[in-house]
Amino acid sequence: MSKRPAAEALDELSGDSPASKKSRLDDYNKSLTPASAIENGYGGHSESHENGDNEAGSGEEAEFNDEPEEKAPIRQSAPTEGYDDLYLDTIDRNVLDFDFEKLCSISLSNINVYACLVCGKYFQGRGPKSHAYFHALEEDHHVFINMSTQKVYVLPEGYEVKSKSLEDIKYVSDPRYTRQEVMDLDRKPRTSWTLGGKQYTPGFVGMNNIKENDYLNVVVQALSHAPPLRNYFLLEDFSTSTDELVKRTSILFRKIWNPRAFKAHVSPHELLQEISLRSNKRFTLTAQSDPVEFLSWFLNHLHLGLGGSKTKAGSSMVQRVFQGKLKVESQAITAKADASDRLRFEEAAEVKVDITRFLLLTLDLPAAPLFQDELERNIIPQVPLTTILAKYNGVTAQELNAQRKRYRLVHPLPPFLMFHVKRFSQNKFVSERNPTIVTFDAHNLDVSPYVEPDPAQHPPGEPIWYDLVANVVHEAVRAKDDVADSGEERKTWKVQLRDKATDEWVVAQDLFVDKIRSELLYLGEAYLQIWERRREPPSRQLPSRAAKGKAKA
């Protein structure tokens, strides 16, 4: 039996879309209301449904109105008129510490990081769904600074604050210097004060030892007092540099010399994290390392990060400051010996001469005595610096790997010489330390006896003076555990720095900074030294080629 066809098509009855549920309810209510009441204006029940004013909350409509509508976040492009300094009184400068790595405290991301100026924590982003936005709502902290652009914003409103009262915070976060300020660092004595009223000298501040990173602290402190390298990192803008090691080194140097710091110490945490990553955890903040090994690694990677070449000499600021040339004469050891049974360079044997480049010169200490002296007292031996420098006089020979070698420096000498006093020796069984004291004068080190004469570079017989800039000292501390004294020694490091503006010396060991007399510098176990070449007066300088040409004309 076939179905009866519909009188009208379904599309014509429903129109474009099926009727809504609400309209069907309205039609049902209208059917219950008498037509006379509608004509006289008494259709109040259906009218209340159209306006949505169901005060009783009964029926199906009340179930749909239970959930409140979400309000869009309030965002402003500028502060409300008359409220430019809103929330700025909540900033706490005492908790601000911009030395640690800029990572979001929730997502651990280093992209688009903001610092809360109320509690000092780092958060990512400032949009309506960012961690900084939720922190502002949950903790009622409203002022944030972008760690890349140094712009300050108020959240959740999102507008930028341009008050001059925040300039000190921006400067501490990213110190910048003018050329005149950098020129005055070694000329004029400086004194600054922290937020707590503590006096300090810019450039001579403590450095936080997080656990066992004092080996890095002394190296960074020493390098930050080599004026050409220091000035380069203070004046150049590395914000767009692709090398993170160079960028973080520049930031730490600028914070060491900050004259408007909130505290009298800095933390190398940000630089340490990058070094640990780049060195595959060879140098970390939890394990002690050798300062000279770290210095070699650090300078080589800085050289490459600054665009230096592996083959071309003087291609970066690091090489222009520290790199010099060394003449090495080597000869195979023969069975011949002279009258005193001493190995020497034979005239008939072939001597190989090489010119190599160096950043660091190693000085060997004489062997320490094994027995007590006549009075049965253990006296620490001493040796002058000039004695162990005789290794580079071109006469003294050393035996190494079945070869006899002798060394001599070659002109031109670098502006800074670095000496490594070799104190530690390692064999298969034990590590030994040589406690010999190296005596020296902080001024007037003449290195001309150790340089190959070259009249075109330097007048013959004229001294070449170098002055000490930094001296890294080793200290052996007896390690103690919770039960008893284990008797083992652990290494600690400190650095002695010269203030060129006052010609005074300062010793820095972690957060401890104090003055020291120059006569007492050599009493410690010197391990690493940086010497600066003294500028010769114009009368002693060799005439330039242009001047020679004019004289001939």
- Round to whole Å and give the CA distance between 186 and 225: 10
Q: What is the CA radius of gyration of the chain?
A: 38
List Cα–Cα distances, 25 to 21, 35, 43, 45, 52, in angstroms.
6, 17, 14, 11, 13
Q: Of the candidates 174, 217, 169, 213, which has an alpha carbon nearest to the alpha carbon of residue 195?
A: 169
List Cα–Cα distances, 434 to 331, 493, 526, in angstroms.
29, 16, 11
List Cα–Cα distances, 387 to 48, 361, 396, 425, in angstroms.
107, 14, 11, 20
- Sign of the C-alpha dihedral, residues 226, 228, 229, 233? positive
The residues spanned by each domain of the chain are 88-172, 179-305, 350-533
User: Considering the domain 179-305 in this protein, what is its CATH number?
Assistant: 3.90.70.10
Please state, as a whole number, how many other Cβ atoms lie within 10 Å of the Cβ of residue 266.
24
- Round to whole Å and give the CA distance between 134 and 77: 19
Give 385's contacts (C-beta < 8 A, 6+ positions apart). 363, 419, 438, 439, 440, 445
Which stretches of 106-171 are assigned E, i.e. beta strand?
113-116, 122-124, 143-146, 152-154, 159-161
- Round to whole Å and give the CA distance between 196 and 453: 56
Give 520's contacts (C-beta < 8 A, 6+ positions apart). none
User: Considering the domain 350-533 in this protein, what is its CATH number?
Assistant: 3.90.70.10
Structure tokens at 172: 């501490």
Length of the chain: 553
Class level of CATH domain 88-172: alpha beta
Give 394's contacts (C-beta < 8 A, 6+ positions apart). 327, 329, 406, 407, 408, 450, 452
The pairing of beta strand 152-154 with beta strand 143-146: antiparallel
Q: Do domains 179-305 and 350-533 have the same CATH topology?
A: yes
Residue with tokens 């002022």: 143
* Global confidence as pTM: 0.80
- Round to whole Å and give the CA distance between 289 and 215: 6
Which pLDDT does position 273 carry in this prediction?
Answer: 94
**Residue 419 dihedral angles phi and psi, to the nearest 5°:** -110, 135
- Round to whole Å and give the CA distance between 497 and 504: 9
| Adjacent-strand bridge partners of 116 | 144
pLDDT along the chain (553 residues), means of 10: 51 45 43 43 41 40 44 63 75 92 93 94 92 94 94 91 92 94 93 93 94 95 96 92 92 96 94 95 93 96 93 91 94 63 57 92 87 64 93 87 88 96 85 90 94 91 94 85 58 94 94 92 93 73 44 41
Structure tokens at 207: 């450095």
Ordered DSSP codes for 193-257: E-TT--EEBTTB-EE---SS-HHHHHHHHHHTTSHHHHHHHHHS--TT-S-HHHHHHHHHHHHHT
